[in-house]
Structure 1
Amino acid sequence: MVRTWLATCAIALWVLLASGAGAVNVPRKNPKVPPGFVTTSGSRFELDGKPFGFNAINATELPVALESNLTYYQVWNSSQWILNDGPQGLQRLDHVISTAGKHGIKVILAFTNNWFGSDLFVNWIAGAGQPHDVFFTDPRIIASYPGEDFDHDLLLPNIDFGTYHLYPQSWYTELDFPGSNWTVESWGLEWIDDHARAASRANKPVILEEFGVGGLQNKTDIYPKWVQRALDTNHAGYAYIMPWQWGELGLTESGGNRIIKYADAINHGASPNDGNTFYINQTAVWDIFT
């Protein structure tokens, strides 16, 4: 994983406790969490014992890989995973986390990702040129990386909270076509309801962690309804929302246009330019989150 995701929420702190020689390590929640770490209490987050709500963002270019000596944390060497604990590996990640702490930024750290992490598994284990969905069917990959069941996983005692994403336009291109029984908006509302029910059953917080639609009018029309539904279905009464993502304007490099890794680009001074990003000059959308 070459990206970290910064947000105004902290990862829970865990320790591994072994009951004796040869025992299996079992994750346990640390009863002595240091000040400044976000924890959970039932269906809500807490910071230093007080309720903690947030309206956060994803940050996908931290740290930005150098043109040479690419940042990476682990690599497959044809037979096993090799960790990189050098200055362009975990040391760089340490610097990002330390810098966030100095500025009071809370962090959720994603170690892999469907679109970036899973393709590496496919290329390294199944072979270059194999389609993305092989990640979910190749038995060697499945053995190397667990499958998931959101409702079941959220019930596990060593899981503090859940997160889910929402991109119906790219997941189901038939939505909003003539004759469709579903719209992007209504599919998203049902998806939010599904995860709210899972959160209620588990009595744990769930974050609408990453979501987006293309087109400024779609964002203006749909985001208020999705956000309101997420607020209405959160019985703890606090906002746990992370849209994808705020962008920057007025950027210049190499004449103002530069292709960077993963097809994001500086385009007419704006970055990232991925269609789901929104900017400060898009007032109607910006105001939903500020």
Structure 2
Amino acid sequence: MKVFDILLSIACLVAQVAASHLNLHRFGKLQNAQAHSIRRNTTSGDVPGTQGLNFTIDGQADYFAGTNSYWIGYLTNNSDVDLALDHLHASGLRILRIWGFSDVNSKPTDGKVYFQLLQNGNATINTGSDGLQRLDHVVGAAERRGIKLIINFVNNWSDFGGINAYTTAFGGTSTSWYTSPTIQDVYRKYIKAVVSRYSQSPAIFAWELANEPRCNGCNTSVIYNWAASTSAYIKSLDSKHMVAIGDEGFGLDIGSDGSYPFTYAEGLDFAKNLAIDTIDFGTFHLYPSTWGVSNSFGNGWITAHAKACAAAQKPCLMEEYGVDTDKCTIESQWQQTVLGTKGIGADLFWQYGDKLSTGNTPNDDFTIYRGTDDYKCLVTDHVANK
């Protein structure tokens, strides 16, 4: 989650849209052909999947509660990782969404964890002790505790590099990122490095294309083509695990009140993207205060996406949601709505907070810290009621 200006920019050039169609052939023709035979994951056992509008974990179809922790893969103390995951396990939270990216344009000199160096037209994946080995420990620790991870591959925002780190190294803009052959080749090589590293792990719940992808002012075909091609590519590497987009759920006619989140201004069409064969479930986020709508907007937003997912016969995941004040009162209402609405299979609040050896984990005002009244209300009580 990131608070960004929501003013609309000038529509993307027609040339960008045309390029997106070309890139579908360049990047995904073979993978899309292979993917037609790959349906949604409905396996049992250790590999999570779907069963109708529910998710399955360890072969059991149920409603699952979970959370987000962007920071856990960047911890350098294994004991801190273990402690946080022990606490999550004890809370009954089954799904944890983490950042699978940390892109930099210059090599850190302070010991900061980074996963990929993008510099002067070159890309180097860091598999060292300050790189993907940190993610190794998170995945292994999650395996031992039965926690299932959603791992995504790039950030729309500049936090931890994101799309901006790619365009800084290779040129282009945040909108042309989706259609640049050079950039998409680098992005896919990183995806392959991560997927091949953990594809056999029972801790993986799903792979996710990006955190909150947007293409402001673009034709919706740009993100659609990118999502179709990239998800098919991931399925060609790992056909067992689920794949999702990681979007905020923008662009939806069902239940629309005409407000900004329902529009197609960010280049997203929720129902159209959900229909992609190699996308296993829908994702949507909920941050009224950053979208210019009231908190009462939340329940309608939830039910609209539930209807879209029910129509597509794929479950929805409300994978990020939060407010910065009066958390229990507002967010518990949303939780009651998701539990009582057909089409939603799980929810992940933003975000989990804990006290580790270095003190409290990052607080972005939406954080819900373990041991607080809000935690009892939104975690303990929610898990008990699901």
Q: TM-score, normalised by structure 1?
A: 0.68
Alpha-carbon contact 2:73-2:138 (below 8 Å) kept? yes
What is the CA distance between 1:100 and its match in structure 2? 0.8
Alpha-carbon contact 1:121-1:141 (below 8 Å) kept? no
Distance 1:49 1:35, change over 3 A: closer
5+ residue gaps, structure 2, are 1-28, 77-108, 185-221, 224-267, 381-386
Percent identity over the alignment?
31
Distance 1:120 1:157, change over 3 A: closer
Which of the residues 302, 306, 310 maps onto 1:196?
A: 306
Other-structure match for 1:261:
none
The letter for the 2-side match of 1:275 is D
Alpha-carbon contact 1:169-1:213 (below 8 Å) kept? yes
> What is the alpha-carbon distance in structure 2 between the residues aligned to residue 208 and residue 78 of structure 1?
38
> What is the alpha-carbon distance in structure 2 between the residues aligned to residue 113 and residue 92 of structure 1?
18
> What is the alpha-carbon distance in structure 1 between the residues aligned to residue 288 and residue 342 of structure 2?
21
Other-structure match for 2:270:
150
> What is the alpha-carbon distance in structure 1 between the residues aligned to residue 119 and residue 140 of structure 2?
30
Alpha-carbon contact 1:70-1:88 (below 8 Å) kept? yes
Distance 1:116 1:42, change over 3 A: farther
**What is the CA deviation profile of residues 155-177 of structure 1, one whole-angstrom value per residue up to 9, with x for unaligned ones?**
111111122111121222xx4xx
2:151 is the counterpart of 1:109: yes
3-state SS of the aligned residue for 1:56?
A: strand
Distance 1:234 1:244, change over 3 A: same
Other-structure match for 2:65:
55
3-state SS of the aligned residue for 2:112?
A: coil
**What is the CA deviation profile of residues 249-271 of structure 1, one whole-angstrom value per residue up to 9, with x for unaligned ones?**
5x564xxxxxxxxxxxx5xxx43
Other-structure match for 1:279:
369
Q: Which has the higher contact order (CA 8 A, sep 6+)?
A: 2
Which of the residues 42, 54, 63 maps onto 2:52?
A: 42
Alpha-carbon contact 1:279-1:286 (below 8 Å) kept? no
Alpha-carbon contact 2:157-2:164 (below 8 Å) kept? no
Alpha-carbon contact 1:162-1:206 (below 8 Å) kept? yes
Which of the residues 124, 144, 160 maps onto 2:280?
A: 160
3-state SS of the aligned residue for 1:233?
A: coil
Alpha-carbon contact 2:351-2:367 (below 8 Å) kept? yes
Q: Which has the larger radius of gyration?
A: 1
Distance 1:285 1:69, change over 3 A: closer
Other-structure match for 1:225:
333
**What is the CA deviation profile of residues 103-131 of structure 1, one whole-angstrom value per residue up to 9, with x for unaligned ones?**
2111111222333469532244158xx9x
> What is the alpha-carbon distance in structure 2 between the residues aligned to residue 169 and residue 97 of structure 1?
33
Alpha-carbon contact 2:65-2:348 (below 8 Å) kept? yes
What is the CA distance between 1:231 and its match in structure 2? 1.6
3-state SS of the aligned residue for 2:152?
A: coil
The letter for the 2-side match of 1:104 is G
How many residues are matched?
A: 232
Alpha-carbon contact 1:36-1:48 (below 8 Å) kept? yes
The letter for the 1-side match of 2:331 is Y
Q: TM-score, normalised by structure 2?
A: 0.52
What is the CA distance between 1:97 and its match in structure 2? 1.0
Alpha-carbon contact 1:208-1:242 (below 8 Å) kept? yes
More helix by share: 2
3-state SS of the aligned residue for 1:109?
A: strand
> What is the alpha-carbon distance in structure 2 between the residues aligned to residue 72 and residue 30 of structure 1?
32
Residue correspondence of structure 1 range 1-290 to structure 2 within 5 A? 24-25=30-31, 26-27=34-35, 28=38, 35-64=45-74, 68-116=110-158, 120-125=162-167, 135=174, 137=175, 139-140=176-177, 142-143=179-180, 144=183, 147=223, 148-172=268-292, 175=293, 183=294, 185-215=295-325, 217=326, 219-235=327-343, 240-249=346-355, 253=358, 270-283=360-373, 286-290=376-380
3-state SS of the aligned residue for 2:352?
A: coil
- RMSD (Å) for aligned C-alpha atoms: 3.2
Distance 1:280 1:79, change over 3 A: closer
3-state SS of the aligned residue for 1:95?
A: helix
The letter for the 2-side match of 1:51 is A
What is the CA distance between 1:51 and its match in structure 2? 1.0
